[in-house]
Amino acid sequence: MDNNQLGIEAMQKGHFEEAATAFSQAIESNPADPVSYVNFGNLLSAVNELEKALKFYEKAIEIDENTATSYYGAGNVYFNQENYNEAKNMYEKALRKGLDNGDLHFMLGMCMLQFDQNRLALPYFQRSVELNEEDADARFQYGLCLAQLDLVDEAMKQFQVVITLNTQHADAFYNLGVAYAFKENTVKAKELLENALTIQPDHMLAGHALKIINENENK
């Protein structure tokens, strides 16, 4: 097993010092391999050393400008620093360089949300879900985008899948409950809102929605 693989396995176990040693050895043995720099950047990102991480991604790009994962890693750094314009630029470069996975499309969608561009975010979340059907977070954001664009029936389908994938997703239960209330199915709406509150008793939005439904029923 090479040092990069050893480092990745150590990272997955939370053994960050061991991972750092392995990635350092990988760089020493082959300083012209951009992958080792990307891996070290990922490690530094994981321990919130964002500026240092960025330098490793930049070094990987300097060695090989077609290393798509280096742009993705840099995009994550910028996103975490709330520099959404630069994050979007880096993600788009990763896409142009051939990276096409669910996480990249999800992050592009999240960037669009920062600019209040739900309509532009929608296809990214859709693609993210297509590439990783069991990603509950991507599917939830896809559902939210659909709902905000008044595509309520389509949104409900996504929220339903989310609560199947993650039975503890309080926000999905809440949003699905609100959709049923919008459809004037108050019985189902109350059931779902109560589920949200069972999972998260301090879910203020679910509590407020349930209160409104109960008050309307008692008029």
In the structure encoding, which two tokens stand for residue 152, read together? 């309520």
DSSP string computed for 197-211:
HHH-TT-HHHHHHHH
pLDDT by residue, tens only, the chain of 219 residues = 699 999 999 999 999 999 999 999 999 999 999 999 999 999 999 999 999 999 999 999 999 999 999 999 999 999 999 999 999 999 999 999 999 999 999 999 999 999 999 999 999 999 999 999 999 999 999 999 999 999 999 999 999 999 999 999 999 999 999 999 999 999 999 999 999 999 999 999 999 999 999 998 887
pTM of the model: 0.91
Domains and CATH numbers, the chain: 1-99 (1.25.40.10)
> Number of C-alpha atoms within 13 angstroms, CB side, residue 126?
10
